[in-house]
Amino acid sequence: EAGVTQFPSHSVIEKGQTVTLRCDPISGHDNLYWYRRVMGKEIKFLLHFVKESKQDESGMPNNRFLAERTGGTYSTLKVQPAELEDSGVYFCASSREFGQAFYGYTFGSGTRLTVV
Amino acid sequence: AQSVTQPDIHITVSEGASLELRCNYSYGATPYLFWYVQSPGQGLQLLLKYFSGDTLVQGIKGFEAEFKRSQSSFNLRKPSVHWSDAAEYFCAVGGSTLGRLYFGRGTQLTVWP
């Protein structure tokens, strides 16, 4: 099966601009997660979708971040307006529905966001 | 509170030497434990996972990890390191409800030829 796909792989934007990151999960995976790693820190959870619903968005840092998953397929994460501290690597992961044998999470390659 | 501690930020070993990366966790329910590896320019790749049963789990690339409930640890081991193992390693803990994972800060492994 195809893996989790994220694009762009890199993005450099100026402070105050808007950036939209996209994640395509593995087909059939109802669970989709966003994580972020700021340089030198741990990978931190942002939010969790089950199909198109936000199951847990407790990790979203502030209201400049907006995540959507229309139709329960791909997801986008928009940062508007971007600040310097938003720089980091944004990872997306997906997993199957619980109860169908838990295979764990599959991560994408990440989007490296640099805000200058 | 849920957390993962990887006490070693950076480890250097010689090729062919044995390796042990430490991981301690704090989790309020039955933990699901994972080790991921990230090579330069790559995403997070799952090395192995522990859900239940045998506390010694085998993973890909010759890695293994042992779950010790009494010590809240899930250390990663490899008997003989290869130069291609140089990467950053992350320990993570989650629960059975497929919710969020909690990651450690990562351990950067350097392998000397």
Below-50 pLDDT ranges, chain A: 100-101
Q: What does the block give as tokens for A79? A: 């940062």
DSSP string of A37-74?
A: E-TTS-EEEEEEEETTEEEE-TT--STTEEEE-GGGS-
Residue B100: its chain A contacts at CB < 8 A? 33, 45, 48, 56, 59
| Largest pairwise CA distance in chain B | 43
**Between chains, do B99 and A98 touch, taking CB under 8 Å as contact?**
no
Residue type, A27: S
- Selecting from B43, B44, B101 the residue whose C-beta is nearest the C-beta of A45 gives B101
Sheet strands (E) in B8-100 = 10-14, 19-21, 24-26, 32-38, 44-50, 56-58, 64-68, 73-78, 87-94
**Between chains, do B90 and A43 touch, taking CB under 8 Å as contact?**
yes
Three-state secondary-structure class, residue B69: helix
Q: What is the mean pLDDT of chain B?
A: 93
Residue with the bigger pLDDT between A39 and B16: it is B16
Q: Among A23, A43, A102, which would you mutate to test the B interface (most chain B Cβ atoms within 10 Å of its Cβ)? A: A43
- pLDDT at residue number A100: 46
Over residues B94-109, the pLDDT tens digits come to 876 767 899 999 999 9
- pLDDT at residue number A96: 82
Per the CB < 8 A criterion, the answer to whether A91 and A36 are in contact is: yes
- pLDDT at residue number A39: 86
What are residue B97's phi and psi, to 5 degrees?
A: -95, 15
